[in-house]
Amino acid sequence: MTTHNIAFGKALRELRKARNLSQETLAFEAGLDRTYISLLELGQRSPTLDSMMALCHALKITLTQLVSAIETAMEKPHE
């Protein structure tokens, strides 16, 4: 596991919860597996650009907004 994958996972979980989406619903909307979403949120997979774009589409945010959320999560690694 690496710091940025963990930060990505935290950001993804926060963005999903802010929209009141379950992992199942987000997975469906993004065309990804629920298990993969779970592993991403735990920082146990490094998302591809393909997956990030699919998640941005499902979360209705831009890639810039997603990266901003990742960088914010990287700045507070101990939460």
> Residue 71 and residue 56: Cα distance in Å, rounded?
16
Q: What is the length of the chain?
A: 79
CB of 62 to a second copy, least distance (A): 8
Give φ, ψ of 41 to 5 degrees: -65, -30
> Residue 75 and residue 79: Cα distance in Å, rounded?
10
Of 5, 16, 41, 59, the residue at the interface with a second copy (CB under 8 A) is 5
By CB under 8 A, the count of residues binding a second copy is 19
Does 67 help bind a second copy (rule: CB under 8 A)? Answer: yes
Interface residue list for a second copy (CB under 8 A): 2, 4-5, 8, 46-53, 62-64, 67-68, 70-71
